Amino acid sequence: MQKEQNDNLIMYFDRTHECPNVFLMENKIQTIGIIGGGQLGMMMTEAAHQLGFKVIVLDPTAACPCSFVADEMIVAQYDDDERVGELCHKSDVITYEFENVPFTSVKKWKEQYNIPQGEMPLYLSQHRVIEKQAAESSGAVVGAYCAVNNNDELQKGIKKLVYPVVLKTCSGGYDGKGQVVLRDDSNMEKAMQLVGHKECILEKFIPFDCEISVIVNRSIHGELTTLPITKNIHKDNILFMSIAPAPVSETVIEKATTMAINMMQSLNFVGTLAIEMFVVNEDVLFNEMAPRPHNSGHYSIEGCLTSQFEQHIRAIAGMPLGKTDLLQPTIMVNYLGQHITGIKELMTSGLPNMCIHDYHKAIAAHNRKMGHVTFCNYSQEEVEEFVESYWK
């Protein structure tokens, strides 16, 4: 039964893999509609305002981060066809700020309204097995994996891939949620519970040297740019720090950039695609992708000539893309709910070349991303000292 579902998903990809609907915009775009009102939508909105656009946002939460900066809010669920249709009707171009927007909703409206990204980026990124298959189809190097949907398939998968392995849900997991690392049989009960409730993917654990991100933008006219690559450091499966430029070799940079561009062109995406990759010696392996601005690209607001958010708006609005040269070495650090007191102290520290971005979230929950800080022209060691001083 599950194999049939996966085959149907693959058939859908094959059948609909065509150029996204690009409207001939006779009139100048004035209003951008964003599905999703989180911090990514907030920073998209700020970039859109700088370019002279108005922004309408649809989100289920009235006091979402975007509500503080958007020109208009539509409070509704993402699958509320009537309200999504209202957003489309009021906007000259539509985009989305995260990958869990129902792709069926976007598909319904894309022929009638200007949604240049279409539903395909959502469709592919909402299922990890399909995502891996799409990456492979574009020529990306992908680590060994297999689909597992019951305990029998889990056991067979472990025998095939051999410990250590990582079990992940095919959809819905983020920041370490919905995954189990298996180095031996000791975590098997937790793994079986996961498999018993959701479709899963089993991946061979890769002893990588580091993780990097490449963010690539493609306009409706086919113009392409990439941002300087970052090295990512995680703590408790949550992105902690992104370092630009990434301290990796030119060979790695060339391979990673080529992979990202090939994926963007092969999958025929428009807008933004962020790709996380593992570096193993001088090789680069695809990990996962997100069809929107990414946490690891936040450094670009202060660090680049054109930020990932401005570039995304330019891409979907048909404007020429900006230059993405790195202005200065920049390090981005996330701060979480438990760090709020320290961040308030950092705000009054007078530390130069430092910028705090508050996401205006009402509840400061433990391990919830509440904002980020960018440090320009500091070393990794210096930033780690600041974190040690203020975060706790």
166, 167, 168, 174 alpha-carbon torsion, rounded to 10°:
-50
Which residues make up the CATH 3.40.50.20 domain(s) of the chain? 23-115
Which residues make up the CATH 3.30.1490.20 domain(s) of the chain? 144-204
Rounded-to-5 percentages of helix, strand, coil across the chain = 35, 25, 35
Mean pLDDT of 347-352: 94
Supply 368's token pair.
């919830």
Let me know: does 276 contact 288? Beta carbons within 8 Å: yes
Q: Which fold has domain 144-204?
A: Dna Ligase; domain 1 (3.30.1490)
pLDDT of residue 8: 41
Q: Has residue 313 got a pLDDT over 50?
A: yes
pLDDT of residue 17: 39
Q: In the structure, what pLDDT confidence band is assigned to residue 11 with cuts at 50, 70 and 90?
A: very low
Which residues make up the CATH 3.30.470.20 domain(s) of the chain? 210-390
pLDDT of residue 234: 96
Is 3.10.180.10 the CATH classification of the domain at 210-390? no
Instruction: Compute the distance between CA of residue 298 and CA of residue 302 in angstroms, rounded to an integer.
Output: 8
Tens of pLDDT, residues 68-109: 999 999 999 999 999 999 999 999 999 999 999 999 999 999
Task: Identify the CATH number of the domain defined by range 23-115.
Answer: 3.40.50.20
pLDDT of residue 6: 45
Tens of pLDDT, residues 126-154: 999 999 999 999 999 999 999 999 999 99
In percent, the amount of the chain with pLDDT more than 70 equals 92
Neighbours of 204 (CB within 10 A): 16
Tens of pLDDT, residues 16-56: 334 444 443 444 899 999 999 999 999 999 999 999 999 99
What is the pTM (predicted TM-score) of this model?
0.91
pLDDT of residue 176: 62
Q: Has residue 15 got a pLDDT over 60?
A: no
Q: Which H/E stretch holds residue 330?
A: strand 330-336
State the chain's mean pLDDT as an integer.
92
